[in-house]
Structure 1
Amino acid sequence: MSVITTHLRHATLLPLALGGLLLGHAPAMAQANATPASSCPAILQHSFNRLQDEAPQTLCQYAGKVLLVVNTASYCGFTGQYEGLEALHAKYQARGLVVLGFPSNDFGQQEPGSSKEIADFCFNTYGVKFPMFSKSVVRGPQASPLYTALAKATGQSPQWNFHKYLIDRNGKVVGGFASKVEPNSPGLVAAIEKAL
């Protein structure tokens, strides 16, 4: 009888002990899952206002996607790349590519307009439907934290409008592409397809 009682006591205490250990870890696990940062790579832990309506947006919503981050301008020799960027976005969107546009007035004052003016120009002139955000500083000491991190990861800051950064599904910055690299250039397309 005492052997059975001892086994029963141990059988009762073991689950309680394990349950206590699990419960001790449960709040931390639950808290980690509740925090967007838990599943969001560091490079995406930034927020920007959406271009069209200034609504705050977290880049964590794009976690798990392949991202092409581009600083744009409406009055630049490279502005025609909007068309190619939209074509890339449309072609590969179903496979997980998202082009993200960040208008910037850093180069030659080629993006002087308001958010509404920029949004209207992009949509009406080039049919841009990929996500665009309000104007950002993309180089120098005032650069946004996202662009500071992109420059650090690649060793290159944008030298002009339409510089492109490619980020893989895990949030790793896999490359930077100069302004003169067209959206349909074989090297950029190959890098995107490899990341997809």
Structure 2
Amino acid sequence: MGIYDITARLLDGTPQPLSHYRGNVLLIVNVASKCGLAPQYAGLESLYRQYKDEGLAVLGFPCDQFAGQEYDDPNAIQQFCTRNYGVSFPIFEKVDVNGPNTHPLFKLLKAEKPGLLGIQTIPWNFTKFLVDRQGRVQRRYAPTDTPEQIERDIVALLRQPAPASVS
């Protein structure tokens, strides 16, 4: 199974096949509104606005597995993101990124790019995965790696020639 075979639900409950993003460079992030790293939303939004027309899609997946730092109410999540950071990139329903109920997307991401010492567990909110236009996971970034620090890697993938046919 590849990334484009997975469907996730947007924050409003609408199913969103990830095949919708086929041919884009993806930055997939597990996010949390009440996390001390939440100011990274500003950098993620900046990257999205700057590069979306070149094919960047930032996908935010709220997660409440780390110290209960995400709202229960999807409307509260949306309001937080919009009011505080002007987020316009897609935010999905809350997911588990570790444990028995791990969302299939995060199972795939962790299998493709395990963390240090091959450990597949996601350590905290704002772990980031960079996926190329062919749907291959290229890099995994620590929660403390800021959007600004990974911009160069994003730009490098955006500058690669688009595939002749993306299957």
Both proteins in one fold, TM over 0.5: yes
- Distance in 2, matches of 1:115 and 1:123, equals 12
Higher gyration radius (CA): 1
Q: Which amino acid in 2 is paired with 1:194?
A: A
- Distance in 2, matches of 1:99 and 1:158, equals 18
How far off is 1:100 after superposition?
Answer: 0.1
Spell out the pairing of 1:63-82 with structure 2 (5 A cutoff): 63-82=22-41
Q: Which runs of 5+ in 1 are unaligned?
A: 1-40
Please say if residues 165 and 173 of structure 1, whose CA atoms lie closer than 8 Å, have aligned partners that are also in contact: yes
1:58-78 C-alpha deviation (Å, 9 max, x unpaired):
111000000000000010110
1:83-116 C-alpha deviation (Å, 9 max, x unpaired):
0000000011111001000000011110132111
Q: Which amino acid in 2 is paired with 1:145?
A: P
- Distance in 1, matches of 2:99 and 2:22, equals 27
How far off is 1:124 after superposition?
Answer: 1.0
Q: Which amino acid in 2 is paired with 1:189?
A: E
Per mean C-alpha deviation after superposition, the further-off stretch among 110-119 and 129-138 is 110-119
Match of 1:184 among 143, 148, 151: 148
Tell me if 1:49 matches 2:9: yes
Q: Which amino acid in 2 is paired with 1:89?
A: Y
Q: Which amino acid in 1 is paired with 2:44?
A: L
Q: Which amino acid in 2 is paired with 1:173?
A: V
Tell me if 1:167 matches 2:94: no
Root-mean-square deviation over aligned CA pairs: 1.1
**TM-score computed with the length of structure 2 as normaliser:** 0.88
Whose helix proportion is higher, 1 or 2?
1
Match of 2:68 among 92, 109, 115: 109
- Distance in 2, matches of 1:47 and 1:116, equals 21
- Distance in 1, matches of 2:111 and 2:9, equals 23
Tell me if 1:146 matches 2:110: no
Q: Which amino acid in 1 is paired with 2:21?
A: Y
Please say if residues 44 and 146 of structure 1, whose CA atoms lie closer than 8 Å, have aligned partners that are also in contact: no
Greater RCO, 1 or 2 (C-alpha within 8 Å, sep 6+): 2
- Distance in 2, matches of 1:167 and 1:174, equals 5
Deviating beyond 2 angstroms after TM superposition, the runs of 4 or more aligned structure 1 residues are: none
**TM-score computed with the length of structure 1 as normaliser:** 0.76
